[in-house]
Amino acid sequence: MAVFSKPSTDIPAAIQAVIEPVTRSSHASNKKRIFATTAIIFLAYITNHLYRKQLEAQRNLSSHSPNRNQTIPDGPVSGNSKYTITIPYRNRTTNVTIFPTKPETFVKHKHAFTALDVNIQRVGVNKTFFRQLLALLKIIIPKFRSKEIFILLLHSSFLVLRTYLSVVVARLDGRIVRDLVAANGQEFVKGLGYWFAIAIPAVYTNSMIRFLQSKLSIAFRTRLTRYVHDLYLDDKNAYYKIINLDGRIDGADQFITTDISRFCDGLASIYSNLGKPILDTIIFNYALTKSIGLAGMLGIFSNYMITARLLRAVTPAFGKLAAIEAKLEGDFRSVHTRLITNAEEIAFYNGADLEHSILDRTYMRLIKHINSVLKIRIAYNMFEDFIVKYFWSTVGLLMCALPVFYPEWGGRGGRSELEGGSASDGKERDRTKAFITNKRIMITLADAGGRMMYSYKELAELAGHTSRVYSLLSVLHSLHANQYTSVPRPDSLGPEETFYSLDDVRGIIDYGFNGIKFENVPIVAPNPGNDRGGEEFIKGLNVTVNPGEHLLITGPNGVGKTSIARVISTLWPVFRGRLARPNVGDIFYIPQRPYLSIGTLRDQLIYPHSHADMIRAGRTDNELIEILDHVHLGYILNREGGWDTKKEWKDVFSGGEKQRIGVCRLFYHHPKFAILDECTSAVSSDVEGLMYQHAKDVGITLITISHRPALTKYHTHLLRVTGEHGTWEFSTIGTPEERMSLEKELSALEEKIKDVEQMRERLADISRELQLGIANNDNKAKIQKRGLEV
Amino acid sequence: MPVLSKCINLDSFISSANNQKLRDSAIKLFNIYKTNRTSIGWSIWIFAIILLYGRGKTGAGRGEGAISKKDKREARRTGAMTESEIKKQKVAVDHVFYERLRKLLKIVIPGYKSKEFWLLIVHSGFLVFRTILSVYVATLDGRIVSALVRKNSKEFLGGIILWMLVAIPATYTNSMLTYMQNKLAIQFRTRLTNYIHDQYLSDMTFYTIGNLDDRIKNADQCITVDTMKFCNSFSGLYSNLAKPILDTFIYNVQLSRSVGGEALFGVSLMVHFSSVLLRALTPPFGKMVAEEQKLEGEFRFTHSRIIENAEEIALYAGHSVEKTILDRAYFALIKHINRIFRMHIFHGMMEDFIIKYLWGAMGLVLCSVPVFFTVPGIKKNDLGSRTEGFVTNRRLLLSVSDAFGRIMYSYKEITELAGYTARVSELLDVFNDVKAHRFRKQLVASAKQPENAEVLSNHGEVIESENIQFDNVPIVSPSGEVLLRSLSFYVKPGMHLLIIGPNGCGKSSLFRILGGLWPVYGGTVHKPNPKDIFYIPQRPYLSLGTLRDQIIYPHTIQEMHERGYTDDKLQEILEIVQLNKIVEREGGWNKEREWKDSLAGAMARLFYHSPRYAILDECTSAVSMDIEKIMYTHATELNISLLTVSHRPSLWKYHNFILQYDGQGGYVFTKLDAERRLALQEEKQTLEQKLVEAPKLQKRLDELKSMLAERDSLQHSATTTPYHQEGDIVPFSLS
């Protein structure tokens, strides 16, 4: 007890510096108090000042005139460790410096993010959770001298300050009440004065704690989002693979936007929700022990322990009941959904009555369950209320009474009882003060205890978010390192069939080849999540495209024409064989679906360059105009109002214009090789011809995927994918052997075509018969009219 | 207190002014006040309440004005209301809300004798009891503390025992209140759900609401979740509003008894003004949060966009550009969030200061009133009883401020309730509209053309009769597309009608009109009782329930027995459709599981019901020819007239009439000579096949001819032949 009653550390001394003078207003401690108060105000001022300064610095640095033309082009520069991007916000643009994550960091973090099986994993506050949290903490707090640590330290110091201030407020409250019940007007007014004086640092502390917590969450989120963006949109196309080559993460956008935000909020709040009550418990326990004695404290503690255990023992399995309720609720909902999806059939069957009874039955099952839960709750609520509200307060009162009735057992309160001396009125006053103070502290303590209990739930929630964010990162990491989940070879697959599994990619890709060369490369759709592995579209492709040899790839739909482009671009793995291809910058793809990015008109033409890239490359807008003229789009510059116009381009351009924009990109980037995937289908054939000719003229080797025979004339080689068991034919266009035995063919054709006219006539007769004379003159007129309307 | 202190000030002022007359009149005034103190106090309270009510009324009036303006605007706009416009309709706490709530209340509390009403009464009784108990607990608390302070162990122990005793009714009341509230919610929900189910499953509303009307997009969500939320929110609101109002009233009375009405009034005024100040100084956080959500949505959208276009971006290698766009969206969001946080600092400080410290100080001042000033009716006491008074008053104050906070907070709950009320009552309104055949659906563009509009504006007639007969009935889809201007045909017993035509020309639509799912826009539809028509859709629908339920759907087992069917008879039916093994395999008639689609089952249904007319909508596409044959012959044996939609020529021979659409708005209805038709069909196919090749061959022929001619001429001039690549040559082999 002696140990507790004597201040031995610095914090309690500081507490005493403020608290003591309230009881014994000695001159020396008065000075201390003034000092402490000034220190608090000073600290508050300094932190505020620091923040203002930082903000202003940011604003000064970043504010630019809203005039778009003068903004420095932004965007990443290859090789630079940092770059700035401009952000339009509130009618002006600000710059933000981005520090991209270094590739070494990914390599370093890779081992922390082991691949995990989402299905088996159980989420809870366990070892896995802490391991995952630790791995994530490495990302969000990269080093000790980071902004996050600074915020965290500031936040912690404010937390300590708040607890300290709470103790002061409790004492002050006791003092005011003492003066009040003693009818000491002057002291009472003075106490109120102190009350308002303490209010200023107190509200500042509270406000700053909230601010810093949010700030911390945002800082975490920024770190994590940036990290994920760097990993997600890397040159290994993780964003593509996550959907097409890996089935583990569904809806990455949800993960990146919502789950990361929730995880960061949870993490930032768990710190203050755990930190504050723990601190409170320690400090208040200390203060309370001093005031009511160790015995009283022990009494309160053992009471809490026993009743908490009792409460837990009698608590029914509400979690399980709630789960059942949720399931029944879901059943009810699904019956409704079923009704809507099958509405037409049920309506035809006249099954409404039956469905009604099914609905009612499901509903009643739910309601019965809810009612039974409610009944269980009555007794439990009563018991809980009794323990928490009444029993605990009784124990608290009894313990507060300890120093009064048994002074030798009570701490400071007991000592002041024993000292006696003063008039009974004075004693009563002191008791009132002590009681009010203790009561306030006990309320705060109970609050802290409740918070701690509640924070366990939050911790469990955080574990859920952590596991989601972790699984996202681990999948991204494994995709970044080209690792995929392994699928065992299914038994149903015959021994002669090749099993293509994503973790068994044996093909070789050679970069830097001047041309494209397939050596026994099967074209295989990866099919993640499929037990039978990848689906083989084309067997062992052997094709070589040299510069200047324009290749046309034709074949029916769905035989894997586009897949060849995917393999060349290494979106799909080369499972077997060898692929030699040019370097990344030397080959350009124009996909089937025209893609228009968010941004200016210029951005559409130079995609995937940014304006900054364009300036760095020394290209000018005049060149772009020239390119537009080549694809006969010169008019759009004036129509859309200049290069810097921003629109939802998807809705602005017509189909043909979109495709021509794609060709513009080809001309702008001027690669050695270009893969054109059915990308001129909506362009008129004369413009199409001009575009192809121009592309060939400027020395681009074309690989065209199309089933339009009209394009044949621009190519020298033909790859026909038949779609029958993965076979293919490769031939040169217009070589002599094609024209062999012309005479023979001629005579056969003449034979076939002989009775065409006769057949036509007969067909018309039959059609008339089958149509049962619908198409009479009257109807024809109608049809024509409809045509006009359309 | 303010009055008393004013009095003191007045005294000093008057004495300095030395004005005897004024002083006399002031004292007289004070005396008058003193004698009529209670009545003045009451009148002030009543005045305040009237004021409050008036404010609420004007608020509602304002809402009314806004609504009427909107109505006018809407009235000016012609045409159907689109869905987005409906969504835009803001939900507010106004007379519309009260009107809707009143309607819903009539459903959930049908009368004074209903269970819900009595639950409400009991609930209110418990509420009153709780408030009274809390007042008692507050005084008891004061007494215990006073005993403690005075070191009166006997009184202290007695107090503690009393405390524990009070706990029993108090906890019971509390627990019962929670129970009652939840129970009320459940009762309301049951009433409302039953009502909605009745409405929803009658007159085919469940079909029409989803297919003929655009207003309710997800009825299942409305019926399950929104109804529940409405009931929870409503029953919660009752206790959340009734309790604090009661509390404020009773505690205020109690407080004014111990500290004097004047002091309480003064403090209330202060609280009111400071809260007005607080509200005035609060930045528009709502707007800013909306903005934040918008930015968050944009960020999310940017991400979804990448996923959607992943392949194109990957092919373009546009990842770094996309990353910049993403980062830009993200930082725009972060910038905004940071701004909100910064505003929160000052606002949080001010709020904390006013609520925690200013109001706390005012509470202390209020408690000090009986100590420092003489309040009429309260005696000056010793320290112990002063402590008692203080503890009691403070507890009451805490309860009042809690109650006050709840009332403030309940506004948010009311708006929430308004939201749920709007959704549920909108659902009910749409039910009524749909039942009265008032549909709102986005119409296709062609519906606006005068001739189509004329068709749409008409109404047809439905007459129940023996046979099926359509007289000049237009086939119109719910979105206003006129598929067929006028259709006339009939089906009599013994007729088997085959309906053919291209996709989307109104084959299924015909059945929908016949089944009464779609409205009739003109002409006359004669149709038998729905019981006499049986429909087998393309997708066989299997309900939840036993194996038997699948066969006899939509009959129940009682109805089956009434019809004189036994399980053995069902077994016979199953044998016809060659499903005789199924009962054994599945483990009896009463086996319940999730049944998979089975067409033979649907056919068994047809034979069980053996109606006069059966509609088979492409339903045999998945069965083999021989089963198909069994089914059709058995159906004819049962004297079921078949109306079949099918592309399969193999079915033609079971029909003797044909209704053929040409897909252009024309049709023909005539007798069917199946065999001749089949032969013709076959010949047509072979001819067509040959003719398709003809142009290709012709072209190739021309090509070859020209090539040969060229070669010949070149051979004559003895030079090499360059290959000409002009024209759309298809050089690869055709043979």
pLDDT tens per residue, range A284-316: 888 788 777 777 778 878 888 888 888 888 888
* Alpha carbon separation from A503 to A237, A279, A433, A530, A565 (Å, rounded): 17, 51, 74, 13, 22
End-to-end Cα spacing for chain B: 113
Starting at the edge strand found earlier in the chain, the sheet holding B461-464 runs: B461-464, B524-527, B468-476, B482-491
pLDDT of residue A4: 33
- Over residues A362-385, the pLDDT tens digits come to 889 998 998 998 888 888 888 888
Per DSSP, what are the bridge partners of residue B526? B463, B469
Cβ contact A591–B315 (<8 Å): yes
The whole-number pLDDT of residue A264 equals 92
Bridge partners of A98? A83
Q: In this structure, what token pair is assigned to residue A715?
A: 């190519």
H-helix segments, A233-351: 238-244, 252-254, 260-314, 318-341, 343-349
Contact B349 A204 (CB under 8 A): yes
Instruction: Indicate the range of A555-564, B35-44, B350-359 predicted with least confidence.
Output: B35-44
Nearest CA in chain A to B296: A257
Q: Do B190 and A367 touch (CB under 8 A)?
A: yes
> pLDDT higher for B469 or B36?
B469
To the nearest 10 degrees (0 to 180), the angle between helices B2-17 and B20-35 is 160
pLDDT score, position A78: 58
Q: What is the per-residue pLDDT for B92? A: 66
Q: To 5 degrees, how large is the angle CA B460–CA B461–CA B467?
A: 125
Partners of B733 on chain A (C-beta within 8 Å) are 738
Q: Is A64 on the interface with B (CB under 8 A)?
A: no
- Work out the pLDDT band at A447, boundaries 50, 70, 90: confident
pLDDT higher than 60, residue B639: yes
Own/partner contacts of B554-561, CB < 8 Å, gap of 24 or more, are B554/A346, B554/A349, B554/A350, B554/A351, B554/A352, B554/A353, B554/A354, B554/A355, B555/A354, B555/B608, B555/B609, B556/A354, B556/A357
B695 contacts chain A (CB < 8 A): no
Which letter does DSSP use for residue B667 in this model? Answer: E
The C-alpha atoms of residue A472 and residue A489 are separated, in whole angstroms, by 26
| pLDDT reading at B63 higher than 50 | no
A147 to chain B nearest CA, in Å? 15
Confidence band of A99 (pLDDT split at 50, 70, 90): confident
* Position with higher pLDDT, B183 vs A533: B183
- Is B528 within 8 Å of B466 (Cβ atoms)? yes
CA-nearest residue to A337 within chain B is B220
Distance from CA of B312 to the nearest CA of A (A): 6
Q: What is the pLDDT of residue B85?
A: 41
Show residues of chain B in contact with A717, CB under 8 Å. Answer: none
- Return the residue of B nearest to A370 by Cα: B186
Average pLDDT on A462-486 reads 85
Q: Which two tokens stand for residue B269?
A: 């005024």
- A338: confidence class by pLDDT, cuts 50, 70, 90: confident
Dihedral of CA atoms B577, B580, B586, B592 in degrees, nearest 10, equals 50
Amino acid at site A394? T
Q: Which of residues 128-167 of B touch A (CB under 8 A)?
A: 144-145, 148-151, 153, 156, 160, 163-164, 166-167
pLDDT (0 to 100) of residue B721: 38
**Closest partner CB to A253 (pick from B174, B300, B728):** B300
Closest by Cβ to B341, choosing from A215, A381, A733 = A215
A324: Cβ contacts below 8 Å, ≥ 6 apart = A369
Residue of A53, A740, A235 lying closest to B711 (CA atoms) = A740
Q: Which residues of A touch B182 (CB under 8 A)?
A: 370, 374, 377
Residue B97 to chain A, least CA–CA distance (Å)? 27
Q: Is the dihedral of CA A361, A366, A367, A372 positive or negative?
A: positive
Task: Name the minimum distance, in Å, from the CA of B561 to any CA of chain A.
Answer: 16
Report the DSSP beta bridge partners of residue A270: none
Amino acid at A711: L
Q: Does A688 touch chain B (CB under 8 A)?
A: no
What is the least distance, in Å, from the CA of B407 to any CA of chain A?
23
Amino acid present at B16: S
Chain B environment of A431 (Cβ under 8 Å): 148-149, 151
Question: How, if at all, do strands B524-527 and B461-464 pair?
Answer: parallel
As a whole number of angstroms, the distance between CA A611 and CA A643 comes to: 11
CB contact under 8 A, B361 and A195: yes
- Say what percent of chain B tops pLDDT 70: 79
- A35 close contact with B: CB closer than 8 A: no
Please tell me the distance from the alpha carbon of residue B613 to that of residue B490, in angstroms, as a whole number. Answer: 12
Residue A339 · residue B220 · CB < 8 Å:
yes
> What pLDDT does residue A71 have?
43
Q: What pLDDT, on the 0 to 100 scale, is given for residue A722?
A: 78
- State the best of A179, A205, A336 to mutate against chain B, taking most chain B CBs within 10 Å: A336
What is the 8-class DSSP label of residue B353?
Answer: I
Residues 613-672 of B with CB under 8 A from A: 615, 658, 660, 662, 664-668, 670
Rounded CA separation A743/B192 (Å): 85
**Closest Cβ opposite residue A591 in set B312, B364, B735:** B312
Query: CA-to-CA distance for A506 and A512, rounded, in angstroms?
Result: 20
Least Cα separation, residue B18 to chain A (angstroms): 29
The tens digit of pLDDT for each residue in A218-272 reads 999 999 998 998 888 887 788 888 877 777 777 788 888 888 998 999 998 888 7
Calculate how close chain B gets to A9, using CA atoms only, in Å: 30
What integer is the mean pLDDT of B633-662? Answer: 81
Give the closest of B325, B537, B688 to A345, CB-based. Answer: B537
- Tell whether B278 is within 8 A of chain A (Cβ): no
Shortest alpha-carbon distance between residue A126 and chain B (Å): 31
A183, pLDDT greater than 60? yes
> For residue A463, is pLDDT > 70?
yes
Select the residue of B190, B371, B729 nearest A180 (Cβ to Cβ).
Answer: B371
Taking an 8 Å cut-off on Cβ atoms, the answer to whether B314 and A569 are in contact is yes
pLDDT confidence band for A679 (50 / 70 / 90):
confident
Interface-testing mutation among A345, A392, A665, with chain B (most B C-beta atoms within 10 A): A345
**CB of A732 less than 8 A from some CB of B:** no
For an interface test with A, give the residue of B324, B535, B608, B689 to mutate (most A CBs within 10 A): B324
Question: What pLDDT score does B699 carry?
Answer: 72
Q: DSSP per residue over B570-638, as a string?
A: HHHHHHHTT-TTHHHHHTSTT-B--PPP-HHHHHHHHHHH--SEEEEESTTTTS-HHHHHHHHHHHHHT
Q: Which residue has the tokens 């709502």?
A: B286
Contact yes or no for A564/A574 (Cβ under 8 A): no
Backbone φ and ψ for A97, nearest 5 degrees, come out as -85, 130
* CA–CA separation, B660 and B668 (whole Å): 5
Mean pLDDT across B315-330: 84
Longest dimension (CA), chain B: 147
B517 → closest Cβ in A180, A183, A344: A344
d(CA B465, CA B514): 12
Q: What is the mean pLDDT of chain A?
A: 78
Chain A interface, best mutation among B383, B594, B595, by max A CB count within 10 A: B383
Instruction: Give, for A517, the enclosing helix (H) or strand (E).
Output: strand A516-525
Who has greater pLDDT, A181 or B133?
B133
B:6-65 residues touching chain A, CB 8 A cutoff: none
Percent of chain A past pLDDT 90, that is, above it, reads 2
The packing angle between helices B115-149 and A424-480, to 10°, is 130
The H-or-E segment that residue A93 falls in is strand A92-98
The residue-averaged pLDDT of B53-58 equals 53
Residue B237: what pLDDT? Answer: 84
- Under 8 Å CB pairs connecting chains A and B tally to 471
DSSP A632: T
Question: At residue B726, does pLDDT exceed 60?
Answer: no
Q: Has residue A5 got a pLDDT over 60?
A: no
Residue B243: C-alpha distances to residues A566, A741, B116, B130 (Å): 67, 102, 19, 9
Least confident of A173-187, A436-450, B711-725: B711-725
Residue A22 has pLDDT above 60, yes or no: no
With beta carbons less than 8 A apart as the criterion, state whether B435 and B203 touch. Answer: yes
Confidence of residue B122 (pLDDT cuts 50, 70, 90): very high
Q: Does A367 sit within 8 Å of B189, measured CB to CB? A: yes
pLDDT tens digit sequence for B408-449: 777 778 888 888 888 888 888 888 888 887 777 777 666 677
The answer on pLDDT for A351 being more than 50 is yes
- Please name which of A656, A678, A648 lies closest in space to residue A556, comparing C-alpha atoms: A678
Lowest mean pLDDT among A355-369, A684-698, B23-37: B23-37
- Residue B556: its chain A contacts at CB < 8 A? 354, 357
pLDDT given at position A263? 92
Q: Give the count of beta carbons closer than 10 Å to the beta carbon of residue B640.
A: 21
Q: Which of A237, A329, A363 sits opposite B193 (nearest CB)?
A: A363
Cβ–Cβ below 8 Å for A203 and B321: no
CB B442 within 8 A of CB B211: no
B285 touches chain A (CB under 8 A): no
Residue A374's H or E segment, with its range, is helix A352-385
Give yes or no for residue A645 having a pLDDT over 80. yes
Q: Which amino acid is at A570?
A: T
CB-based contact (8 Å) between A342 and chain B?
yes
Work out the pLDDT band at A423, boundaries 50, 70, 90. Answer: low
What is the torsion angle, in degrees rounded to the nearest 10, for the CA atoms of residue A592, residue A596, residue A597 and residue A603? Answer: 110
Residue in A60, A95, A93 with CA at minimum distance from that of residue A75: A95
Contacts of B728 in chain A (CB under 8 A): 709-710, 712-713
Angstrom distance (rounded) from CA A384 to CA A379? 9
Predicted confidence (pLDDT) per residue in A105-131, tens digit: 888 888 888 766 555 556 677 888 888
* pLDDT top residue among A604 and A426: A604
* CA–CA min distance A93, chain B (Å): 10
Chain B environment of A758 (Cβ under 8 Å): none
Question: pLDDT-based confidence at A454, cuts 50/70/90?
Answer: confident
Per CB-CB distance under 8 Å, the chain B contacts of A72 are none
Q: How confident is the model at residue A788 (pLDDT cuts 50, 70, 90)?
A: very low
Answer whether residue B648 shows pLDDT above 50: yes
CA distance B257 to B378: 8
CA distance B571 to chain A (A): 22
